[in-house]
Amino acid sequence: MPTQPPAAAPRFLLASLLIALVASLLYLPGLPGEFLFDDFPNIVNNPAIALKELNSQALIRLLATPQPSGDLRNLPNLTFALDYWRGGGADPATFKTTNILIHALTTLSLAWLFRNILLAAGTRIEHADWAASALTLAWAAHPLLVSSVLYAVQRLQAMGTLFLVLALLAYLQARRAQVAGRSGRTGLLGAALLWGLALMCKEDSVMLPVYALALELTVLQFAAADAGLARRLRRGYLLAALAGAALYLFVAVPHFWNWDAYSGRNFSTPERLLTQGRVLAMYLWQILLPLPSHMPFHYDWLGPSRGLLHPWTTLASIALLSVLLLLAVLQRKKRPLLALGIFLFFAAHFITSNVVGLELAYEHRNHFALIGAVLAIGSVLAEAGQRLRLAPMQQGIACSALLLALCSATVVRAHSWSSNLLFAQASTAAAPHSARAWIQLCAEHYALGGGPTPRNTRLDAAISACDNGSRLVPGSLNSPALRIVLKTLRGDIAAQDWAKFRQRMKIADRSWDNRRAPMLLVYNARKGVKLDRHELLEVFETQAQTSPLATGELVFIGNFIMNDLGSPDLAMPYFLKAIALSPQGNLLPLHVAGVLRAKGRPDLAGKIEQLGASRLRANTAKDPDVSP
């Protein structure tokens, strides 16, 4: 094990602090940006984090309140509440500043993790210091992380990574102590506690034991001064790996597997697994050639793989990934840093690229995985420099040029996050076939022009964006729906616009995005846009004919028709179907009947009550133990 000079640690601490500062400054151009997408349910419209007074009762109440992001993510939600209190409300800059601070802390911690990995692999102290610095800056300055740092809600992922890095650092320190003949118990206890904190941020932090196993298989190789401890380590990890594999095969896979499409998705489990080969290859391409134009943020344009050759890149991507994994296995002793980096990259994607019915791709899933990729790429570049016999000065110039390019790309991409309009324009340029990018650009012009008023100054620009979205993404419904709203405001809406929208509804995928398109019409109608009443009813009827509607969707439509359009009779089919689908004995029939009676329609209320009673009787006859 390399001996550390007394002055080495303070010098490296100063260098790591400087790197953390530089990493923070790169994201400042994005501070003026607004909230986006999942920020609204989790932050802006989440009353649970609206902390007005900082006291223990308020914090306990916050931790006990169910959250939109999940009940296990308590630490990030607590910091959201503190930011709300600190900023006097949901101020985007306040939340983004905290995200940048978390990024700086992660950068600082990662520098020491890289340094310890290099030292454990036998690297000389002086070389380990500058190599760890370069690797850390490469991670912190990579533009792929912009969507994790400047997207406020992705603090969930960023905090998970921070505690994972600290846990791995503690584990590595403990294991190096054991190699030197010391106990390492304090470090192992610290690693366990930090792992618990990581699990309170993001569920995929459960992969920490796999990351530790990757360290053992490569740089540590289960070494210990005590031969008995070394044997126990091997046996313990073997048993843990077998137990993990059993849980995956016999619990996770049967629970999440779907031969048919997942709910709200257009792909099944086998198709999702095939597609992840292309997704991981795409991530690697973005990491290796980190141009902002390669990082569109929206990935709804990415179609699922229907077979190994549909598209052909599926098989090619799987082959590439298989070669990388085989390389890591074969080179884990000769080139441990390369193998460790590959193992970490794949392990970090194990949950999100598996059988759970998540969306196919998201950039923030690379937040921890990028650590492995940077380590693997850095080891390859270092060996290439040695084989080419480059002088230290030449290696330094080449390394500086690469790091400067990364920093520049991050600044450029961070600037595109400085406003939602710039963000939408960059997104449509990078992903012209993304329905979400186009609807956001259309909606931003609409909002900036004044919203639902005929005097909106950006109607033409908004309609142009919706036209592009409708043309370039023929399977989307949101752009055509908003186009109807905008043309209604402009005064040139035609019957054929509605007819084309309804025709598209009949052939479009029933994805979660497309199912929301009629709700977009409802939202704007309630904001005062004079949408054609008859055409709206035709849209609802088409929606009911083309896809099975959930109880909540049926009640929503029924309430709109009854209350906003003033037609209780036309709302009845939706209420009746909702009650037929709802659990027997619930309060929906009583609620709807009460509203109808208040509106002076006891005849319709009676029909609702009769259906509710008949369902209750049927349920009672089926299960005599259920009392009415």
Contacts of 565 (CB under 8 A, 6+ apart): 533, 536, 537
Q: What is the pLDDT of residues 320-348, one digit of tens each?
A: 999 999 999 999 999 999 999 999 999 99
Question: With contact defined as beta carbons under 8 Å apart, do 172 and 113 qualify?
Answer: yes
The secondary structure element, H or E, covering residue 402 is helix 392-415
Give the count of alpha carbons within 13 A of 494, CB side only.
Answer: 3
CA distance 52 to 86: 9
pLDDT at 626: 37
Cα angle at 463 between 458 and 466, to 5 degrees? 130
Kindly tell me if the per-residue pLDDT of 219 is higher than 60: yes
Backbone angles phi, psi at 332, to 5 degrees: -65, -20
pTM (2 d.p.): 0.91
Mean per-residue pLDDT for 165-193? 95
Residue-level pLDDT at 510? 81
C-alpha 432: how far from its chain's center? 21
* Torsion angle, alpha carbons of 534, 536, 537, 538, to 10: 90
The amino acid sitting at 528 is: G
The predicted structure's pLDDT at residue 7: 59
**Do residues 515 and 265 make contact, with C-beta atoms less than 8 angstroms apart?**
no
The pLDDT tens digits for 51-84 are 888 888 888 888 877 777 776 788 999 999 999 9
Phi/psi of residue 307, each to 5°? -175, 175
- The encoded tokens of residue 270 equal 């086998």
> Which residues lie below 8 Å from residue 443, measured CB to CB, with a gap of 6+?
462, 482
pLDDT tier for residue 618 given thresholds of 50, 70 and 90: low
Which pLDDT belongs to residue 169?
A: 97
Can you give the pLDDT at residue 581? 83
Mean pLDDT of the residues in the chain: 92
CB 346 within 8 A of CB 325: yes
pLDDT at residue 612 tops 80: no
For 3, 266, 337, 339, 350, the CA distances from 376, given in Å and listed in that order, are: 25, 35, 6, 7, 18
What confidence tier does 140 reach under pLDDT thresholds 50, 70, 90? very high
Which amino acid is it at 247? L
From residue 366, how far is each of 39, 280, 371, 393 by CA, in Å? Answer: 19, 10, 8, 32
* Average pLDDT of span 179-201: 95
The residue count of the chain comes to 628
**% of the chain residues with pLDDT over 90:** 78
pLDDT of amino acid 582:
78
| Contact criterion met (CB below 8 Å) for 110 and 77 | no
Q: 234 CB contacts (<8 Å, ≥6 apart)?
A: 222
Phi-psi region of 297 (alpha: psi -120 to 50; beta: other; left: phi over 0): left
Which of 7-16, 27-36, 37-46, 607-616 has the least mean pLDDT? Answer: 607-616
pLDDT band of residue 625 (cuts 50, 70, 90) is: very low
Question: By the 8 A CB rule, do 320 and 381 touch?
Answer: no
pLDDT for residue 616: 65
Q: Three-state SS across 515-568? A: HCHHHHHHHHHHCCCCCCHHHHHHHHHHHHHHCCCCHHHHHHHHHHHHHHCCCH
Q: What is the pLDDT of residue 52?
A: 87
Neighbours of 497 (CB within 10 A): 17
pLDDT tens by residue, 4-14: 555 578 899 99
Per-residue pLDDT, 274 = 97
For residues 1 and 180, is the Cβ–Cβ distance under 8 A? yes
Query: Over the stretch 283-304, which tens digit does the pLDDT of each residue have?
Result: 999 999 999 999 999 999 999 9
Per-residue pLDDT tens for 494-538? 999 999 999 999 998 888 888 889 999 999 999 999 999 999 999
**Which CATH number is 432-547 given?**
1.25.40
- 439-474 confidence digits (pLDDT tens): 999 999 999 999 999 999 999 999 999 999 999 999
Yes or no: say if 198 and 153 are a contact pair by the CB < 8 Å rule. no
Domain ranges for the chain, please list them: 8-35+90-415, 432-547, 552-628
Lowest mean pLDDT among 115-119, 368-372, 606-610: 606-610
What pLDDT shows up at residue 498?
96
Rg of the chain over all Cα atoms, to the nearest angstrom? 28
Rounded distance between C-alpha atoms, residue 93 and residue 98, angstroms:
9
Half-sphere exposure of 176 (CA within 13 A, CB side): 19
Summarize the confidence of residues 241-252 as an average pLDDT: 96
- The residue written with tokens 């419904």 in the block is 477
Question: Residue 619: pLDDT band by 50, 70, 90 thresholds?
Answer: low
pLDDT on residue 330: 97
**Residue 585 pLDDT class (50, 70, 90 cuts):** low
Which two tokens mark 74?
């308590």
Residue scoring higher pLDDT (391 or 138): 138
Q: What average pLDDT does this structure show over 357-375?
A: 96
User: Which are the contacts of 44, defined by CB distance < 8 A and separation ≥ 6?
Assistant: 35, 90
Could you read off the pLDDT of 591-605 as tens digits, one per residue? Answer: 888 888 888 888 888
